Structure 1
Amino acid sequence: MKWEEVRKLYPEQFVKFEIVESHIQDDKEFIDEVAIIKAIADGKEAMKEFINCKPGQLVYSTKHEKLVVQLVKHVGIRRSV
């Protein structure tokens, strides 16, 4: 399902979904197609669902026109003991 369709079906709500198709450009992932898992009524429940997401799943608000995720590389600091 395209993000525009999701926004029409679930206006001003959080939704939990699985990424079906996406592409990466620079340091952003543009999600093209999703499979809805469930609609979420409030922010507290959305945070609980976000914490329990499996790889490839996200919780996002439909108030956003575009579905873009900023990719962050984790850089660790090492020291010798």
Structure 2
Amino acid sequence: MNWEMLRKSFPNQWVLIEAIEAHSNNGRRIVDRISIINTYDEGKQALEDYKVIHKKEPNRELYVAHTSKTELEIIERQWLGVRV
């Protein structure tokens, strides 16, 4: 599924999604294929579920977004410093 299809299937909802196929371009993450994990009325619950899944499986590429957005805009972050 892509973002446009997801938006049409789940209008005006918060979604927790996983990037199945994605690539980087000019500091942005472009998600080509998406798998939906769950839908929510409130973004807070989506973020809580994100934290639980991310803690158990940190290598999964998960995102929380609202389907009112016409584009899925994901800006990549660069971490500086030492992880402890």
TM-score, normalization: structure 2? 0.80
What SS class does the counterpart of residue 38 from structure 2 fall into?
Answer: strand
Work out whether 1:62 is the aligned partner of 2:67.
Answer: yes
Aligned length: 77
Distance in 1, matches of 2:12 and 2:51, equals 21
Work out whether 1:6 is the aligned partner of 2:6.
Answer: yes
Q: Map Cα deviations across residues 59-80 of structure 1 (whole Å, 9 max, x no partner).
A: 1111111112101111127xxx
Structure 1, unaligned runs of 5 or more:
none
Structure 2, unaligned runs of 5 or more:
55-59
Change (3 A) 1:53 1:64: farther
Deviation of the 1:31 alpha carbon: 0.8
Instruction: Indicate the percent of aligned positions where both proteins have the same amino acid.
Output: 27
The AA in structure 2 aligned to 1:14 is W
Does structure 2 conserve the Cα–Cα contact (< 8 Å) formed by 1:31 and 1:68? no
CA RMSD of aligned residues (A): 1.5
Higher helix share: 2
TM-score, normalization: structure 1? 0.83
The 4+ residue runs of structure 1 with deviation greater than 4 A are: none
